[in-house]
């Protein structure tokens, strides 16, 4: 049953129109979905290519020469790259499919319109004749009634007046006219009915069936084309197709070619060496040559100064020996129980599972290795236990020998006097004036300053909005002791209290007693403030000139030199983590010296608020400068700004510093339009930096795609940002990707969009921008090359004038 016989009714015709509308909507839905699929495949191809590119970066590849694993891995990455290209090709083919679907949709709309017009045309003819029959019938009835009335009137006059008379002639004339009209209307009515019968018959048996039959053919031909489009879509997304199977087969083959017994053959031959020469450890007798008394090489000294420490150490060691013995017993029990353990998982049925579980042989080897390690550890600890026990047993009396004789005590007094010369003590001046007091310097900076056992400094920390003084000491690592306050306002650790912190620290320093018995930490050398640690009182804040991420920025003056400076402040309410990030900029800048990098003068950490003091650059932000002077800037000046920025970034790249936030707003303008790179709050001193704490506060429109997509930063990401900076300079402070949201700009960039050249930009400079915006990071120029290109263009411009 087809359209011609089944769909002749009006309701069926309307249903067919509705069906065609639904099919057109379905086509639009399919088109959007296929476009999205193409976009996903393209993005996946980009991601997969980035994975392959990352995987091919094997550091110091010469050390893995001859490795089957390395060879398999590289082949694997090559095949991933092939997969990426295949997905990209599929995405392009899907875009072609979308075009076909668009054309099919357009043709279907035309066919739908043609069907409606043709159906309306043949239906209109039938409707017109139907209306004509009704009209003729109405005329027939009207003339019939007139005829009947005139005939009756004629008959009446004829009977009354006989066969003559003028009045009778008039009535006869009207009667004859009415008769003629009736007969003519009768004929027209008969003809219209005959025509309508034929038209209706043709409409029902020829025209409408023919139209519907043609429409069915058109509809079915569209369905065939539609089916072909869906088949193409399916083929381009078929991961089980031969092309993907071949890639997977090559991956499987190269991985299966790995032979563990052959992996290290070439490496072993290349690096074959003689057996390890035993290391000789012996006591350096020179250490005790000038010390009279009971200190002897390779012999423990037991006296009133050491006995408590030795007994505590003995207890700790005996507990360690016991723990080793218990672990050995547990391992032996597992082995006897037939449950070999490998990395916490049980190997069953003698097979190697796919999730990394080791075979019974591997597990037994691991057990044997771990058991041997525990036995060695037990033997080492037991050796120390025996040595301490032997030394303690040699003390045959209750009273312990003195830890120092008269001669040693005299030496201690002399040393204390000498130390007093090195470390000044004053109870009259405030603590923050002491050179060894470092204020609120973060712990990371403290750890960096304390390098040798006995190095110490005093600092302040804020905990629960309460200030505490902390003594930090390098001793078997880094230890931090909070100064305790007694009821009467004195200060102490474990020993006696003192009226001031200075006296407490001096006591610990001169007596050479441990700060606490448990730590054993002794104060030997006070670490004074570094040259760049300034006093807060030396900085006079004058006026607020801006606002940063951590606090306000001020113009200020140094009391000591009367120099005008710029000061960044850190809000006191920020958590310690934010304060550490704030000081990171100072830590980075202090080691840099370049005319195009803003200079650090110092940091102030003695009091709150923490401040970073930098040179004052009079022109302010480059972005504001560009906007204010847009009418007067010349091309030569703009190129000079680009060269200055390239010079500063070339210097940073040589120092393995990734800026991560290069933009016009983060550059400053000095005299004669000279540009300086500033704002190092997001910088990292690494060749490659991977973001692991999310992508918060990322300047999306200035950031390279690989950093946005994978969180991976290198100096080549700064090159991308430099391209945006160039665009800002030549657009005289316009906003990049104006009118686009961050997400929209990111989509467009991933799709290959690049901003057009700003007005009056030299073509060579725009070509350099486009190079900086290469999607592949490795294809971008380094800053040394960028500087040379811009410098050469400026020289050529100067010579031409």
Q: CATH number of the domain at 560, please.
A: 3.30.200.20
Strand-pair category, 539-547 with 552-558: antiparallel
627 and 604 belong to one structural domain: no
Interval 60-71: pLDDT, tens: 566 777 778 888
Final residue belonging to a domain, choices 561, 589, 615: 615
Interval 475-531: pLDDT, tens: 999 999 999 998 888 999 988 999 999 999 999 999 999 999 989 999 999 998 877
661 catalytic residue (yes or no): yes
Task: Please state, in angstroms and rounded to a whole number, the distance separating the CA atoms of residues 766 and 729.
Answer: 12
Binding-site residue positions for ATP? 568
Task: Please state, in angstroms and rounded to a whole number, the distance separating the CA atoms of residues 81 and 47.
Answer: 10
CB 98 within 8 A of CB 38: yes
Task: Please state, in angstroms and rounded to a whole number, the distance separating the CA atoms of residues 500 and 489.
Answer: 9
333 and 452 belong to one structural domain: no
Interval 606-649: pLDDT, tens: 778 889 998 999 888 999 999 999 999 999 999 999 999 999 99
364 and 493 belong to one structural domain: no
* Residue 5 pLDDT > 90: no
Task: Please state, in angstroms and rounded to a whole number, the distance separating the CA atoms of residues 441 and 387.
Answer: 43
Q: Which of 492, 462, 493 is nearest to 479 (CA)?
A: 493
List, in sequence order, every beta strand (DSSP E) within 296-374. 341-342, 345-346
CB 418 within 8 A of CB 347: no
The separation between the first and the last C-alpha atoms of the chain, rounded to the nearest angstrom, is 87
370 and 426 belong to one structural domain: no
pLDDT at 199: 86
In a domain, 272, yes or no: no
Interval 650-707: pLDDT, tens: 999 998 888 888 999 999 999 888 999 988 665 554 455 444 444 446 889 999 999 9
Quickly state the pLDDT bin for 163 (edges 50, 70, 90): low
Q: Which two tokens stand for residue 692?
A: 């692991």
Contacts of residue 176, Cβ cutoff 8 Å, sequence gap at least 6: none
565 and 670 belong to one structural domain: no
pLDDT at 347: 39
* DSSP 3-state of 525: strand
631 and 609 belong to one structural domain: no
Task: Please state, in angstroms and rounded to a whole number, the distance separating the CA atoms of residues 590 and 603.
Answer: 9
pLDDT at 546: 82
Q: Tell me what the mean pLDDT of segment 264-276 comes to.
A: 72
* DSSP 3-state of 206: helix
pLDDT at 492: 93
Quickly state the pLDDT bin for 393 (edges 50, 70, 90): low
Task: Please state, in angstroms and rounded to a whole number, the distance separating the CA atoms of residues 152 and 175.
Answer: 9
Residue 680 belongs to a domain with what CATH number?
A: 1.10.510.10
Contacts of range 325-334, beta carbons closer than 8 Å, 24 or more positions apart = 325/378, 327/374, 328/371, 328/374, 328/375, 328/378, 331/367, 331/370, 331/371, 331/374, 332/371, 334/367
Other C-beta atoms closer than 10 Å to the C-beta of 62 total: 6
Question: What CA–CA distances, in Å, run from 201 to 115, 198, 207, 213, 530?
Answer: 20, 5, 9, 17, 109
CB 492 within 8 A of CB 472: no
* Residue 394 pLDDT > 70: no
Kindly provide the b/e burial profile for residues 489-527, where b requires at least 16 CB atoms within 10 angstroms of the residue's own CB. ebbebeeebbeebbebbbbbbbeebbbeeebebbbbbbb
pLDDT at 357: 45
Binding-site residue positions? 568
Catalytic residue among 661, 693, 750, 784: 661
207 and 309 belong to one structural domain: no
Q: Tell me what the mean pLDDT of segment 83-104 comes to.
A: 91
CA 622 to chain centre: 27
Quickly state the pLDDT bin for 740 (edges 50, 70, 90): very high
21 and 137 belong to one structural domain: yes
Interval 277-289: pLDDT, tens: 777 777 777 777 7
Q: Which domain holds residue 139?
A: 13-236
599 and 638 belong to one structural domain: no
In a domain, 450, yes or no: yes
Q: Which two tokens stand for residue 5?
A: 């016989």
Task: Please state, in angstroms and rounded to a whole number, the distance separating the CA atoms of residues 653 and 429.
Answer: 45
Task: Please state, in angstroms and rounded to a whole number, the distance separating the CA atoms of residues 299 and 307.
Answer: 14
* Residue 472 pLDDT > 80: yes
Task: Please state, in angstroms and rounded to a whole number, the distance separating the CA atoms of residues 175 and 169.
Answer: 10
* Residue 261 pLDDT > 70: yes
In a domain, 286, yes or no: no
Task: Please state, in angstroms and rounded to a whole number, the distance separating the CA atoms of residues 306 and 310.
Answer: 6
709 and 575 belong to one structural domain: no
Task: Please state, in angstroms and rounded to a whole number, the distance separating the CA atoms of residues 613 and 610.
Answer: 10
pLDDT at 414: 34
In a domain, 241, yes or no: no
pLDDT at 516: 92
Quickly state the pLDDT bin for 419 (edges 50, 70, 90): very low
Quickly state the pLDDT bin for 380 (edges 50, 70, 90): confident
In a domain, 410, yes or no: yes
* Residue 371 pLDDT > 50: yes
Task: Please state, in angstroms and rounded to a whole number, the distance separating the CA atoms of residues 103 and 553.
Answer: 61
pLDDT at 647: 96
Percentage of residues in the chain having pLDDT higher than 90: 36
In a domain, 215, yes or no: yes
Tally the C-alpha atoms within 13 A of residue 585's C-alpha that lie toward its C-beta: 30
724 and 586 belong to one structural domain: no
pLDDT at 358: 53
680 and 544 belong to one structural domain: no
In a domain, 720, yes or no: yes
Final residue belonging to a domain, choices 236, 251, 277: 236
Task: Please state, in angstroms and rounded to a whole number, the distance separating the CA atoms of residues 44 and 54.
Answer: 15
Residue 166 belongs to a domain with what CATH number?
A: 1.20.1270.60
- What is the count of structural domains for the chain? 5
Task: Please state, in angstroms and rounded to a whole number, the distance separating the CA atoms of residues 45 and 91.
Answer: 9
Q: What is the CA radius of gyration of the chain?
A: 48
Q: Tell me what the mean pLDDT of segment 39-54 comes to.
A: 91
pLDDT at 372: 84
List, in sequence order, every beta strand (DSSP E) within 634-751. 667-669, 675-677, 689-690, 712-713
Q: Residue 553's beta-bridge partner residues? A: 546, 568
* Residue 323 pLDDT > 60: yes
In a domain, 353, yes or no: no
Tally the C-alpha atoms within 13 A of residue 230's C-alpha that lie toward its C-beta: 10
CB 722 within 8 A of CB 646: yes
Work out the angle at residue 115's Cα, subtended by the Cα atoms of residues 111 and 118, and round it to the nearest 5 degrees.
Answer: 135
Q: Which two tokens stand for residue 747?
A: 């989509």
Percentage of residues in the chain having pLDDT higher than 70: 87
Contacts of range 759-766, beta carbons closer than 8 Å, 24 or more positions apart = 759/731, 760/635, 760/730, 761/730, 762/635, 762/639, 762/793, 764/789, 764/793, 765/639, 765/642, 765/726, 765/730, 765/790, 765/793
CA 94 to chain centre: 29
* DSSP 3-state of 660: coil
pLDDT at 32: 93
* Residue 412 pLDDT > 90: no
Final residue belonging to a domain, choices 517, 550, 566: 517
* Residue 17 pLDDT > 80: yes
pLDDT at 279: 74
pLDDT at 684: 54
Question: Would you give the DSSP letter of residue 493?
Answer: S
């Amino acid at each position: 049953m087809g359209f011609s016989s089944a769909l002749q009714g009006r309701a069926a015709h309307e249903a067919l129109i509705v069906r065609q509308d639904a099919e057109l909507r379905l086509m639009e839905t399919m088109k959007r979905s296929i476009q999205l699929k193409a976009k996903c495949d393209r993005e996946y191809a980009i991601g997969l290519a980035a994975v392959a590119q990352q995987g091919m970066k094997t550091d110091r590849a010469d050390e893995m020469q001859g490795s089957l694993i390395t060879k398999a891995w590289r082949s694997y990455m090559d095949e991933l790259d092939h997969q990426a290209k295949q997905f990209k090709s599929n995405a392009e083919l899907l875009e072609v499919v979308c075009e076909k679907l668009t054309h099919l949709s357009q043709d279907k709309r035309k066919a739908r319109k043609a069907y409606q017009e043709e159906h309306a045309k043949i239906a209109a003819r039938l409707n017109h004749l139907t209306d004509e029959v009704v009209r003729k019938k109405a005329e027939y009835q009207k003339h019939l009634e007139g005829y009947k009335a005139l005939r009756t009137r004629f008959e009446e006059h004829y009977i009354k007046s006989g066969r003559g008379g003028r009045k009778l002639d008039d009535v006869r004339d009207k009667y004859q006219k009415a008769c003629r009209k009736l007969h003519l209307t009768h004929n027209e009515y008969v003809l219209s009915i005959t025509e309508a019968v034929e038209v209706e018959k043709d409409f029902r048996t020829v025209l409408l069936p023919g139209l519907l039959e043609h429409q069915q053919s058109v509809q079915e031909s569209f369905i065939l084309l539609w089916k072909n489009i869906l088949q193409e879509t399916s083929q381009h997304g078929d991961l089980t197709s031969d092309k993907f199977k071949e890639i997977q087969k090559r991956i499987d083959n190269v991985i299966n070619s790995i032979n563990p017994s052959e992996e290290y053959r070439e490496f072993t031959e290349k690096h074959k060496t003689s057996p390890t020469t035993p290391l000789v450890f012996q006591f350096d007798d020179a250490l005790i040559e000038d010390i009279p008394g009971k200190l002897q090489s390779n012999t423990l000294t037991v006296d009133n100064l050491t006995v408590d420490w030795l007994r505590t150490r003995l207890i700790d060691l005996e507990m360690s020996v016991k723990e080793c013995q218990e672990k050995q017993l547990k391992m032996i029990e597992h082995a006897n129980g037939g449950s070999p353990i490998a990395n916490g998982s049980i190997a069953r049925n003698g097979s190697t599972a796919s999730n990394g579980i080791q075979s019974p042989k591997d597990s037994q080897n691991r057990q044997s290795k771990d058991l041997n390690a525990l036995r060695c550890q037990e033997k080492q600890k037991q050796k120390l236990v025996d040595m301490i026990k032997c030394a303690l047993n040699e003390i045959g009396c209750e009273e312990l020998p003195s830890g120092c004789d008269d001669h040693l005590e005299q030496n201690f007094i002399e040393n204390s006097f000498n130390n007093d010369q090195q470390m000044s003590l004053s109870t009259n001046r405030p603590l923050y004036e002491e050179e060894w007091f470092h204020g609120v310097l973060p712990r990371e900076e403290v750890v960096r300053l304390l390098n040798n056992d006995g190095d110490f400094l005093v600092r302040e920390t804020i905990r629960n909005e309460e200030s505490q003084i902390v003594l930090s000491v390098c001793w078997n690592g880094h230890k931090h002791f909070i100064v305790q306050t007694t009821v009467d306002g004195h200060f102490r650790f474990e020993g006696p209290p003192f009226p001031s912190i200075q006296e407490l620290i001096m006591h610990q320093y001169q007596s050479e007693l441990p700060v606490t018995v448990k730590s054993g930490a002794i104060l030997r050398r006070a670490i004074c403030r570094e040259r760049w640690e300034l006093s807060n009182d030396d900085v006079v804040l004058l006026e607020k000139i801006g606002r940063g991420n951590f606090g306000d920025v001020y113009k200020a003056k140094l009391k000591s030199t009367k120099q005008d400076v710029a000061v960044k402040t850190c809000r006191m309410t920020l958590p310690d983590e934010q304060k550490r990030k704030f000081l990171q900029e100072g830590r980075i800048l202090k080691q840099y010296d370049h005319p195009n990098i803003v200079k650090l003068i110092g940091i102030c950490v003695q009091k709150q608020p923490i401040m970073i003091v930098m040179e004052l650059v009079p022109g302010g932000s480059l972005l504001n400068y560009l906007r204010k002077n847009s009418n007067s800037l010349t091309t030569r000046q703009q190129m000079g700004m680009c060269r200055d920025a390239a010079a500063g970034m070339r210097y940073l790249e040589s120092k393995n510093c990734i800026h991560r936030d290069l933009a016009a707003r983060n550059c400053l303008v000095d005299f004669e339009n000279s540009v300086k790179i500033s704002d190092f709050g997001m910088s990292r001193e690494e060749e490659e930096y991977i973001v692991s704490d999310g992508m918060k506060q990322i300047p999306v429109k200035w950031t390279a795609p690989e950093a946005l997509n994978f969180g991976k930063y290198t100096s080549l990401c700064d090159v991308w940002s430099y391209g945006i900076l160039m665009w800002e300079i030549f657009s005289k402070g316009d906003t990049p990707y104006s009118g686009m949201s961050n997400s929209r700009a990111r989509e467009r960039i991933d799709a290959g969009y690049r901003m057009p050249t700003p007005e009056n930009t030299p073509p060579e400079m725009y070509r350099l921008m486009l190079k900086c915006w290469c999607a592949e990071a490795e294809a971008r120029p380094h800053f040394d090359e960028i500087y040379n290109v811009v410098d050469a263009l400026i020289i050529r411009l100067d010579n031409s004038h």
